[in-house]
Amino acid sequence: MMKWFAKSRIAIGLVAVAVFSACGQADAPQGGEAGSANDPQSQSMAAPIAVEFFTSQGCSSCPPADELAAELISDPDLVIISRPVTYWDRLGWRDTLGREENSRLQRSYASRLRYGGGRAYTPQAVVDGRFGLIGSRRGELRDALDDAREEQAGIAISIRRLETGGSHVVMIGGGPEAPAIVTLVALDSTETVDIGAGENSGRSLTYTNIVVDERLIGHWDGDGVSLVLSEADLATEGADRHAIVVRQGEAGPIVAARYL
């Protein structure tokens, strides 16, 4: 069943919007057949939109949302981020991928966006930090993606890898919706977990683009800015891909997102 968690007063930590780079493939899907008109993946978009999935290994309604996240990962118009939460750990199974930072971010979203009476719940998808919905509902997600596209400010992000040293240069163009913070999000592209207790006991569940770590790497004031990421900056244990996210402050709307 879908789970609700009462609104918390815990102050949210700094969570910067990850800007993701599609590794030069943003102009073409990475394999697979075109989806139906009702499939969120089939909607053509000019710039990446971030979709954050909040789920828990202790929630029996969450696997369909996790499966949807895995399906959408091949869409070059979307940046998919899985944020396992911790507040259902008390029900008998500790989420092996859960991070308290994810729970705090979701509670702040609930307070700002006013969905669900200000309560966090699972499964949930949040689109560009602006629209919250039940994370397994494809039709609602498609509508939210359409709404997000209309609100996009068209901030351009490009990423260039230097020939020596393994460094990357992240270039963020000028535009409205400043000021904003820029965050590097370290992701584990896929992880399969055998659940030993709780509502999903006995199941083997797979997760996609799980947040391993995230940190502030810069600020954006509306003018163009360039940031250099060294090879050491990307050496995060457990991560095999990264994203850059630009967000209007703590738990604010996402201005831009792209895979690195």
Question: Stretch 188-217: mean pLDDT, rounded?
Answer: 98
In a domain, 33, yes or no: no
Q: What is the pLDDT of residues 157-171, one digit of tens each?
A: 999 999 888 899 999
Q: Could you tell me the pTM of the whole model?
A: 0.82
Task: Flag the least confident range among 83-87, 158-162, 182-186, 190-194.
Answer: 158-162
- What's the Rg (C-alpha) of the chain? 17
Confidence band (pLDDT; 50, 70, 90) for 185? very high
In a domain, 36, yes or no: no
In a domain, 39, yes or no: no
Question: What is the C-alpha to C-alpha distance for residues 236 and 12, in angstroms, rounded to an integer?
Answer: 23
Instruction: Report the chain's mean pLDDT, rounded to a whole number.
Output: 85
Task: Flag the least confident range among 43-52, 190-199, 224-233.
Answer: 43-52
In a domain, 59, yes or no: yes
Cβ-proximal residues to 141 (8 Å cutoff; 6+ apart), any chain: 40, 51, 68, 125, 127, 133, 135
Tokens standing for 210? 């799980």
Give the model's pLDDT for residue 20.
33
Tokens standing for 13? 């930590």
In a domain, 214, yes or no: yes
Report the number of distinct structural domains present in the chain: 1
Q: Does residue 154 surpass a pLDDT of 90? A: no
Q: Does residue 114 surpass a pLDDT of 80? A: no
Q: Does residue 17 surpass a pLDDT of 90? A: no
**Residue 217, domain extent:** 3-28+44-259
In a domain, 149, yes or no: yes
Confidence band (pLDDT; 50, 70, 90) for 224? very high
CATH code (residue 119): 3.40.30.10
> Among candidates 225, 208, 213, 160, which has minimal Cα distance to 183?
213
Give the model's pLDDT for residue 250.
83
